[in-house]
Structure 1
Amino acid sequence: MSSEPGVTIQTFTNLDTEHMRLLFEADPSEGMINDVFIHSCAYEIRAGQALAGVMLLIRADADALEIANISVDRAYRRQGFGSRLIDRAKMETVRLGLSRLEVGTGSTSFGALCFYQTCGFRMDRIERDYFVNRYAHPIVENGITLRDMVRLSWHL
């Protein structure tokens, strides 16, 4: 739960159309979203009854948790909802006794790259042609065809 009145963070187990709408903003593949969801711990953040954002966490390896998908509704962006979800992911990393939290984003996702670094993540590596090899159709973002994934991590 969040300490702010009317704002709650909780897990959810049923992926409905409202969750999918937000998850599609971060990943255009329904199949990939469903595959990740099956293996994830899913969180939602609500402002009152309204769904403000979602996050899917998966176990990356023996030492790390990964934010596999995170999205905040446009109406709630730049109000701290994404940061609250990141804080929850960090708390889960600590609770599980893991040493790091990872996230990957597109090399053309300039806003996301800035956001993650503001939240304390550092760049680790680039996975070349990640999106080209996994998606049937090109993804264009900020006028650039997305090819590479930037991997970032937060360490205890």
Structure 2
Amino acid sequence: MSSEPGVTIQTFTNLDAEHLTLLLEADPSERIIRDVFTHSRAYEIHTGQALTGVMLLVRPNTDTVEIADISVNRAYRRQGFGSRLIDRAKMETVRLGLRRLEVGTGSTSFGALCFYQTCGFRMDRIERNYFVNRYAHPIVENGITLRDMVRLSWRLELPK
């Protein structure tokens, strides 16, 4: 749960139409979202009764947690709800005894790249042709055909 009155963050286990609608803003493939969901720990953030955002966390390997999908309702963007979800992902990473949280986003997703960096993520690598090889139809964002994924990570820094 969140400490702010009226704002709650909790896990959910049933991917309903409202969750799916939000997640389709982050990933245009319902098939991929449903597949990721079956292997994820899913979080939702509510403001009062309104679903404000969702996040799917997966464990791609033994030492990393990955934000596979994250989306905030357009009416609630730029109000700190995405940052709250990121903070929850960091808390989950630490709770699991891990030090690395990873996220991938499109090379043309300029807003997302800026957002993740303001949340403490650093760029790690580029997966060339990720979107070209994974999606049947081209994705155009900011007037550019999306091809590559930028991978970013946050690492828990331990005191020296």
In the aligned structure 2, how far is the partner of 1:30 from the partner of 1:83?
A: 25
Q: TM-score, normalised by structure 2?
A: 0.97
Amino acid at match of 1:142: N
Per-residue CA deviation, residues 30-78 of structure 1 (Å, 9 max, x unaligned), is 0000000000000000000000000000002111000000000000000
* Structure 1 vs Structure 2 CA RMSD: 0.4
1:12 maps to 12
Look up the match of 1:76: 76
SS at match of 1:137: coil
Whether 1:145 and 2:117 are equivalent positions in the alignment is no
Which residue is equivalent to 1:125? Answer: 125
Cα deviation, residue 99, structure 1: 1.6
Runs of 4+ in 1 over 2 A off after TM superposition: none
Identity percentage over the alignment?
A: 85
Counterpart-to-counterpart distance in 2, 1:53 and 1:126? 27
Structure 2 counterpart of 1:152, one-letter code: L
Between the aligned partners of 2:60 and 2:35, the Cα distance in structure 1 is 14
Match of 1:92, SS state, is helix
- Distance in 2 separating the partners of 1:97 and 1:131: 31
1:90-109 matched pairs, under 5 angstroms = 90-109=90-109
Gapped runs of 5+ residues in structure 1?
A: none
Q: How far, CA to CA, are the matches of 1:60 and 1:124 in structure 2?
A: 16
Report how many aligned residue pairs link the two structures. Answer: 156
Where structure 2 has 5 or more consecutive residues not aligned to the other structure, the ranges are: none
TM-score (normalised: structure 1):
0.99
Query: 1:30-109 maps to which residues of 2 (within 5 A)?
Result: 30-109=30-109
